[in-house]
Amino acid sequence: MNAYDEAKRTYQNLGVDVERALEVLKNIPVSIQCWQLDDVKGFEDGGNSLSGGIQTTGNYAGRARNFDELKSDLLKAFQFIPGTKRLNLHAIYAVSKTRVERDRLEPKHFKPWLEFAQSCHIKLDFNPTFFSSGMVKDNLTLSSPDETIRAYWVRHGVACRNIAEYIGSEQKSPCLFNVWIPDGMKDTPADRLAPRIRLKQSLDQIFETDMDERHVIDSVESKVFGIGIESYTVGSQEFYMNYAQQKGICCLIDNGHYHPTENVADKLSSMLLFNRFVPLHVTRAVRWDSDHVVSFDDVTREIAREIVQSGQPERFLIGLDYFDASINRVAALVIGARNFQKALLSALLLPQERMRTLQDEGKYTELLVLNEEAKTLPFHAVWEAYCLKENVKSDHAWYQDILDYEQNVLNQRS
């Protein structure tokens, strides 16, 4: 009996159908972020430095500098990521021979991305880009008191939402349209209300037109604080949760956007109870929203466990969000994506029904025993079998291909 057959027998004794778990896993889409591969530079003016509440560090060789290089790196990464994948884009990745102002972006500037996605048999998600621009003044965009600045970013938001609708209608799958802004203040504000009034007015304009949910799913994303806005974030969790409920749109949860002592996994069931969809950005925050590569750690596994335990994983719109320029960027993309797949599989292999019964019967000692002993079940044999079924290389086998790609492709980029 091989390791996989032995693992299946072990899990079967606990009431877990491994084959069914693998079938569920391969059909849970995970949206892979394109911006890991170029340090969130985008294609404007050859790639600007980051500003507006975000920052990347490191100068590892081989950053993607254009559409062709980014596509090449994505294709290489996709070779080693099992399961159903989506691709998450930002507006700064518009494909054009000449620079296009962000408030003038059109669907045609993302048609090459749509064609690329169709060739890979994946779907796209889309985000407006409210950072790294000369039109970000005093760390303010949609909440700016300067009407010229605010109007520019409203036009950008409207243009990007139209692009998301185009993408969704063309790909026959809803495109998640997610708004995050860096607006806030470094020190204590004199007026907290006025910027939020302006932000609400701006969002009302962006979301004014009703769109078919078969094409676009709207969401807004909060943050506790950011670089340069340590004392006041206009788009706080309370603001966006209330706004989303009022507008009937989604409030995206990024697990790096909360106080380090908050358990983000604990928020998910409450969000699911009152929302049709729960969009997610999965990252690894070290002390703050530092966007480290997703690890197979307790935080990630708890998030995945909540998704699986809901019995409705299709209502979670899962995306990854991290960027690290200090290591091989393609490897970073693969590591994080595989780790979240592992977290989902780990959750799918738990004896959920038995655990629920023990909880309902108040048998908390036995529940604790089962929780702890589940941690040493033969998970890795199942993961290796899953990789084989998905025709991707297993652990300890894929990294050499990345090293070869680095030598032959990444290191040739000057």
* R_g of the chain computed on alpha carbons: 22
Classify 340 as helix, strand or coil.
helix
* Alpha-carbon gap, residue 87 to 83, rounded angstroms: 13
Q: Which of 73, 254, 324, 406 is catalytic?
A: 254
- Angle made by CA atoms 118, 119, 124, in degrees to the nearest 5: 35
Farthest CA pair distance, the chain: 71
Q: What is the DSSP string of 283-335?
A: -EEESEEEEEPP-SSHHHHHHHHHHHHTT-GGGEEEEE----SSS-HHHHHHH
Q: Which of 125, 170, 291, 302 is catalytic?
A: 291
Please report, to the nearest 10 degrees, the dihedral formed by the alpha carbons of residues 305, 307, 311, 312 taken in order: -170
Q: Is position 223 annotated as part of the catalytic site?
A: yes
* Alpha-carbon gap, residue 217 to 176, rounded angstroms: 5
For residues 241 and 279, the answer to whether their CB atoms sit within 8 Å is no
Q: Is position 281 annotated as part of the catalytic site?
A: yes
Q: Which of 39, 257, 398, 406 is catalytic?
A: 257
Q: Is position 297 annotated as part of the catalytic site?
A: no
Distances (CA, A) of 315 to 24, 84, 307: 14, 15, 9
Q: How far apart are the first and last CA of the chain?
A: 51
Q: Which of 8, 41, 71, 223 is catalytic?
A: 223
* Alpha-carbon gap, residue 197 to 218, rounded angstroms: 20
Q: Which of 41, 90, 281, 342 is catalytic?
A: 281
Q: Which of 38, 289, 302, 406 is catalytic?
A: 289
Q: Is position 289 annotated as part of the catalytic site?
A: yes
Q: Which of 218, 321, 324, 406 is catalytic?
A: 321
Q: Which of 221, 306, 324, 406 is catalytic?
A: 221
For residues 325 and 56, the answer to whether their CB atoms sit within 8 Å is yes
Q: Is position 187 annotated as part of the catalytic site?
A: no
Q: Is position 321 annotated as part of the catalytic site?
A: yes
Classify 232 as helix, strand or coil.
strand
Q: Is position 45 annotated as part of the catalytic site?
A: no
Q: Which residues belong to the active site?
A: 180, 221, 223, 254, 257, 281, 289, 291, 321
